[in-house]
Amino acid sequence: MPPQHAIKRPQTHAPRWLLALPAVLGLLALLAYYFVPFINQPELGATTLPTLTASRSNNELDITTNGLILLPIASVIAIAVGLWNLATPQLGRAAALLGALCGVLMLEYYLLWWLEARSEGLLDTWLTAVSWGFWTLLLLALLLVLQTFIPRPVAAPEFQLRNLIANQESAIIIALVVLIIGIGISSPRFLATRNVIDILQGNAYIAVAAIGMSMVIITGNIDISVGSLIGVLAVVSGRLAVAGAPVLVAWLVPLLLGALFGMVLGWLVAYVRIPAIVVTLGMLSILKGGLILWTDGQRVTGMPPEFFLAQMRPLGVPMPVWFMLILTLLAALWMRYSPRGRALYAVGGNAEAARLSGLSQQRIVFNVFVIHGVFAGLASVLYASQLRVIQATPPPALELAIITAAVVGGVSILGGKGTVIGAMLAAILLNAIRSGMIFVNVSPFWIQAIQGLLILATVLIDLARRQPRRRKKRAVVRGSHAAS
């Protein structure tokens, strides 16, 4: 009898245009948003969306603007997905699904538009006034959704759907989309431009701090003093600016002090071998008490206008959002492709195996605490410059928010696993939940309880994922013993 061979699905190569399709559709949507007339108005005539949203007086027909901000955001994400797909062709259908989610976000505005037009009895008026930019963006949103049905080559195992569903980053993205759709429909003001921007930039400094925290946790350690450190460094930055120091000095000194603080933590943890939880618990008390003694409970005010880095808006995007996105991307690339970045996972996953392969656990842990201190210093500058007043105490439970962002983002509390991209997404999700609770009339004080539940649930899920691997290892050990 001839041998039976499993039939394998052919590994075909996708054409370049298919890989770039989400990027092309996203770019067209972005151009339509900025340059194609969206509505015809009695006085202003053909009006583009930037002109329509520039001031309330420009919206002569009082057309709904809740959710409009989703159009450019989803377009930019679709462009990024398409470029990522070009650089990583093995994404397969995962890129198509991410593009489809961008289309769903864009369609959210049209749903809100239709619901408000019907409730206000203005459907005929608005339909008569809309220009071809309205229909172009609607068509592009539909195409982003429909492109998922185009046949694609088999994706690499890590990007196949069954593995993506179990991925923490995928769960956060789906949760964000569901939250945006659900609360957006029940309370359209949740998707007002100002509120969406507040959601993105409100936790940006937490996302920046969570980059360093993720690295620390991946190596099998933790820092519960980071909230107090950010509070101290923010006061240092503000007082330097008030004393007349150059703004650049007021921005850079917290980064240097953060690195120095990280050196102290790293030395105590890596070389003195004191558990990180003990070291950082002691530092938490020292920093918090020292800050109150130093400031005598007095807030810092009177900083010069050029000090407020977080209030700058290059290209109309808040500076904290730029820092959050760029630093997360750079850190993710470094941790994925750099030997030193991958060494963090090796030390956190199996310290003994890492040592036998020639890696110095002490040096790696020391370095990661220094890097963590730099990120905490940068987060403190963003925190200090977002308002006109710097409080004498850090925000309550700030360290919990940072640790939650890292852990809920998929960083295993046991070490050896996780990404900074997940931490950034989790920081955004937590702020979106906090904002959404206000719009559905739920006390925002519940957010700390939700953070605790999310941490507990994430840790339990992580333990459940590790069980099959442990059983497999035990079976291999038993088999080797039986063979001997």
Tens digits of residue pLDDT in 356-373: 888 888 999 999 999 999
Structural domain ending residue among the three candidates 144, 166, 188: 166
Radius of gyration of the chain (CA): 25
Q: Distance between CA 319 and CA 382 in Å, rounded?
A: 9
Shared domain check, 260 and 132: no
- Enter the tokens of residue 430: 């937590």
Q: Map residue 139 onto helix, strand or coil.
A: helix
477 domain residue, yes or no: no
91 domain residue, yes or no: yes
Note whether 28 and 40 are within 8 A (CB).
no
Instruction: Please calculate the CA angle 95-101-106 and round it to the nearest 5 degrees.
Output: 130
pLDDT tens for 273-324 read 999 999 999 999 999 888 888 888 888 888 999 999 999 999 888 999 999 9
The number of residues in the chain equals 484
181 domain residue, yes or no: no
186 domain residue, yes or no: no
Shared domain check, 430 and 308: yes
471 domain residue, yes or no: no
Q: Distance between CA 301 and CA 307 in Å, rounded?
A: 11
Q: Distance between CA 208 and CA 226 in Å, rounded?
A: 12
Please state the φ and ψ torsions of residue 55, each to the nearest 5 degrees. -155, 160
Shared domain check, 433 and 382: yes
Shared domain check, 259 and 353: yes
Shared domain check, 281 and 145: no
Shared domain check, 240 and 162: no
Shared domain check, 342 and 436: yes
Give the pLDDT of the chain (484 residues) as one tens digit per residue: 444 444 444 444 556 667 788 999 999 999 999 999 999 988 888 999 999 888 888 888 889 899 999 999 999 999 998 888 887 777 767 788 889 999 999 999 999 999 999 988 888 888 999 999 999 999 999 999 998 888 776 666 666 666 666 677 888 888 889 899 999 998 999 999 999 999 999 889 999 999 999 999 999 999 999 999 999 999 999 999 999 899 999 999 999 999 999 999 999 999 999 999 999 999 999 998 888 888 888 888 889 999 999 999 998 889 999 999 999 999 999 998 899 999 999 998 888 888 888 888 899 999 999 999 999 999 999 999 998 898 888 778 889 889 989 988 888 888 888 889 999 999 999 899 888 888 888 776 777 777 778 778 777 776 776 665 555 555 544 555 555 5
- Measured between alpha carbons, how far is residue 57 from residues 19, 39, 41, 44, 63 in Å? 42, 14, 12, 10, 12
Shared domain check, 237 and 120: no
What is the number of structural domains in the chain?
A: 2
3-state DSSP helix/strand/coil % of the chain, to nearest 5: 75, 0, 25
Nearest to 417 by CA among 142, 193, 218, 208: 218
Domain hosting 78: range is 16-166
pLDDT tens for 194-246 read 999 999 998 899 999 999 999 999 999 999 999 999 999 999 999 999 998 99
4 domain residue, yes or no: no
Nearest to 233 by CA among 260, 265, 258: 258
Shared domain check, 241 and 381: yes
Q: Distance between CA 395 and CA 234 in Å, rounded?
A: 11
Note whether 438 and 182 are within 8 A (CB).
no
Give the helix/strand (H/E) hosting 260.
helix 247-266
User: Model-level pTM?
Assistant: 0.86
Shared domain check, 269 and 400: yes
Shared domain check, 284 and 343: yes
Give 283's Cβ-side CA count (13 Å radius). 28
- Enter the tokens of residue 220: 């099998």
Give the helix/strand (H/E) hosting 47.
strand 45-47
247 domain residue, yes or no: yes
192 domain residue, yes or no: no
Shared domain check, 162 and 212: no
